[in-house]
């Protein structure tokens, strides 16, 4: 098997909001790469609650908190790239990446998170 030489940050869908870089996984294995290899512990991790979908990561900026409108924007992306995309409102969980882990034996894309918060958003693209 040949190893994929594509730089990690080029493997994901990429969006930008007010200077914050937002990355979206494309499939289960890609979600694992985004969350476990690319994301920093201080990045914000998001996912549509209770359904299958893309992992979303907002890259942190030194000494800055994540503005609410940037979290809402990224949450709308997480909702859009989930199996709940056709719903009017979708609950999306978010937490710092340091609270997201993958226990041994979990399927690709499956993770466990602690200390999550929930935001309700309309699933939409920018």
pLDDT for residue 5? 65
**pLDDT tens column, 100-115:** 999 999 999 999 999 9
pLDDT for residue 9? 73
Q: Residue range 5-9: average pLDDT?
A: 72
The full length of the chain comes to 126
- pLDDT band at residue 2 using 50, 70 and 90 as cut-offs: low
Of the candidates 55, 111, 114, 112, which has an alpha carbon nearest to the alpha carbon of residue 79? 55
**pLDDT tens column, 42-101:** 999 999 999 999 999 999 999 899 999 999 999 999 999 999 999 999 999 999 999 999
Average pLDDT, the chain: 93
Residue partners of 125: CB distance under 8 A and separation at least 6: 76, 77, 80
Token readout for 126 is 């920018």
């Amino acid at each position: 098997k040949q190893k994929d030489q594509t730089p990690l940050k080029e493997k994901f869908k990429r969006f930008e909001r007010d200077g914050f870089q937002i990355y979206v996984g494309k499939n289960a294995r890609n979600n694992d790469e985004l969350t476990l290899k690319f994301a920093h512990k201080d990045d914000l991790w998001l996912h549509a609650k209770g359904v299958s979908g893309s992992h979303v990561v907002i890259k942190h900026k030194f000494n800055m908190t994540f503005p609410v409108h940037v979290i809402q924007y990224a949450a709308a992306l997480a909702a859009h790239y989930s199996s709940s995309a056709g719903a009017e409102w979708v609950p999306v969980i978010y937490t710092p990446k340091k609270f997201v882990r993958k226990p041994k034996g979990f399927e690709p894309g499956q993770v466990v998170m602690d200390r999550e918060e929930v935001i309700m958003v309309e699933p939409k693209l920018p």
